[in-house]
Structure 1
Amino acid sequence: MCVYCCEEYKNPSEFGPHMVKEHPTTSLQVAFMHCLYEGYIKVDCSHLRCKICDEHFEKLPDIAKHLNNDHDKKINFDTHLGVQPFRFPNDKLLCGLCDKNFPCLRQLSRHMTTHYQNFTCEECGKSYTTNSAFQQHIKFPHASSGIQYCRQCKSTFDTVAEKREHDEKSVNCWKYHCTFCSPPKRFLRWTEKEKHLVTVHGKKERTHDCPECPKTFLTRETYRNHFATTHAEACYVCSYCSKRFSKKRYLDEHIVVHTGVKQFECDVCFKTFPRKANLSQHMWTHSDNKRFECKLCDKKFNQKISYRSHMKTQHPDVQI
């Protein structure tokens, strides 16, 4: 949106020429008027040029130095410039600092905050751009303290099991809701909401088209994995086999295939596992809480795989 006349544009390629043609002069007072919060102004820096001498630049710090040195604009480099630079060349979505490419503006915006992590939590290491976001974070206990809390209603729980039970049963804390239902029906998971929209309201099943190639994906996760590993630099590469992963935790889970290291040990039976997820799944075998119940013969199971195996062998005609 244009900060001077409030005209809105869907494409950066249309927005840039509008700024050049309609607003050749700059009014800082008007431009920053809507920035009444603690943070940075987000700017399309695809075509940076000096309005004084018309020289073009690739990066924001370069044009800032140019204005300071060649035009005596007295810029203070001891603090941040107050701008988050985005670049949109040829319909790509690039970070204006490291030039990484992203499939959507939301992911790019999230990435951009990693360059402006000014406040870091000493307990868990998470960083935040603004002090207000950091203060919100430290209001509540960390998982390392053994206390769990709900991000929606802010209730606290002594154990993970209590928190999980709350998540499953407290409908008001489910963060996804249907805008077509009245009152809005709520859902615990995004996939459940999407399925509801298709089956109940006749919404066309969503697909995800890759902007870089002709491929189409049925799920958001497979699309993002494809984009990160094929078209973006924001991926993680295995040093053993060069396989690419969209997230570091996927790479960490894969590495054990090459190393064979089993660093996660069960403190009950001392069995070791290569991945934390494997250990978490194993711990249910020691739990008295049997989560999966067969409604036909009243047998209960700790693990889903045991329940599914039972259903296939004992009740093969019943759809799970």
Structure 2
Amino acid sequence: EICLTKFGTRSYLKRHKRIHTGEKPFECEFCKAKFRNRSHLKDHERKHTGEKLYECEICLTKFGTRSYLKRHKRIHTGEKPFECEFCKATFRTKPNLYRHLKTHTREKFKCQFCESEFLQEASLTAHIKIHTGKKQFECEFCKARFTDRSAKNKHLRIHTGEKPFEC
């Protein structure tokens, strides 16, 4: 009766109603984050456990959620389904489009710790780590920790011997 959407089963209707009520009955045992759907909770918990059920058939990289795999596959296909309405630039992911849109609006991301401002959210996120010292990316081999994923990935090459750059 709220939005008039119809469902084939009572359980689908019950699950849908949580969007309107804000109810989130499924809680992560690791960090207490709450979710509307059990499937969203299970996807989230894989971030804590490191379990990766979904594998790219092209490069064999594994992912914790089907949506991460779907997004990853766009690297291989070149698909960029998200288009900027202002300049027609296209992007592989919606967050990348949103980040790009800020360059048109000139909306700035402000640091909560100092007076610094950034045009890109990623720049602010990297900057904030200067204040917090947070190193959330851990090497699976030696447990060294890094503030960003790219630094960790560069470090991993020490262990794997990977040399991805060819003359």
TM-score by length of structure 2 reads 0.54
Q: d(CA) in 2 for partners of 1:209 and 1:167?
A: 29
Deviations 1:13-42 (A, max 9, x none): xxxxxxxxxxxxxxx5xx46536313235x
Deviation (angstroms), 1:191: 3.3
Alignment-derived partner of residue 52 in structure 2:
149
Q: Which runs of 5+ in 1 are unaligned?
A: 1-27, 42-79, 85-114, 153-164, 169-173, 177-186, 196-204, 292-300, 312-320
Q: d(CA) in 1 for partners of 2:46 and 2:7?
A: 35
Deviation (angstroms), 1:252: 2.4
Q: d(CA) in 2 for partners of 1:207 and 1:143?
A: 26
2:35 aligned to which of 119, 128, 135: 128
Alignment-derived partner of residue 219 in structure 1:
91
Q: d(CA) in 1 for partners of 2:5 and 2:92?
A: 35
For the structure 1 residues 279 and 39, does the alpha-carbon distance in structure 2 shift closer, same or farther, using more than 3 Å as the test?
same
Alignment-derived partner of residue 39 in structure 1:
15
Alignment-derived partner of residue 22 in structure 1:
none
Q: How many residues matched?
A: 148
Asked if structure 2 preserves the Cα contact closer than 8 Å seen for 1:120 and 1:134, the reply is no
Q: d(CA) in 1 for partners of 2:7 and 2:35?
A: 22
TM-score by length of structure 1 reads 0.33
Deviations 1:202-253 (A, max 9, x none): xxx867232xxx333132555321335665x9x853243221444xx65321
Alignment-derived partner of residue 161 in structure 2:
290
Asked if structure 1 preserves the Cα contact closer than 8 Å seen for 2:117 and 2:124, the reply is no
1:237 aligns with 2:110: yes
Q: d(CA) in 2 for partners of 1:83 and 1:273?
A: 39
Q: d(CA) in 1 for partners of 2:135 and 2:69?
A: 35
Alignment-derived partner of residue 24 in structure 1:
none
Equivalent residues in 2 for 1:223-302 (5 A)? 223-227=97-101, 236-239=109-112, 240-246=115-121, 251-256=124-129, 259=131, 261=133, 263=135, 274-285=147-158, 287=159, 289-291=160-162, 301=163
For the structure 1 residues 142 and 35, does the alpha-carbon distance in structure 2 shift closer, same or farther, using more than 3 Å as the test?
same
RMSD: 4.7
Asked if structure 2 preserves the Cα contact closer than 8 Å seen for 1:208 and 1:220, the reply is no
2:76 aligned to which of 175, 189, 192: 192
Deviations 1:176-213 (A, max 9, x none): 5xxxxxxxxxx952132245xxxxxxxxx867232xxx
Q: Secondary structure at the match of 2:15?
A: coil
Deviation (angstroms), 1:121: 0.7
Alignment-derived partner of residue 26 in structure 2:
119
The code of the aligned residue for 1:241 comes to S
For the structure 1 residues 260 and 34, does the alpha-carbon distance in structure 2 shift closer, same or farther, using more than 3 Å as the test?
closer
What stretches of structure 1 move > 4 A for 4+ residues in a row? Answer: 228-231, 258-270
The code of the aligned residue for 2:97 comes to Y
The code of the aligned residue for 2:118 comes to K
Q: d(CA) in 2 for partners of 1:128 and 1:207?
A: 26
The code of the aligned residue for 2:35 comes to Y
Deviations 1:96-146 (A, max 9, x none): xxxxxxxxxxxxxxxxxxx5533221214443213x4357x18x974544x
The code of the aligned residue for 1:167 comes to T
Percent identical pairs in the alignment equals 12
Larger Rg computed on CA atoms: 1
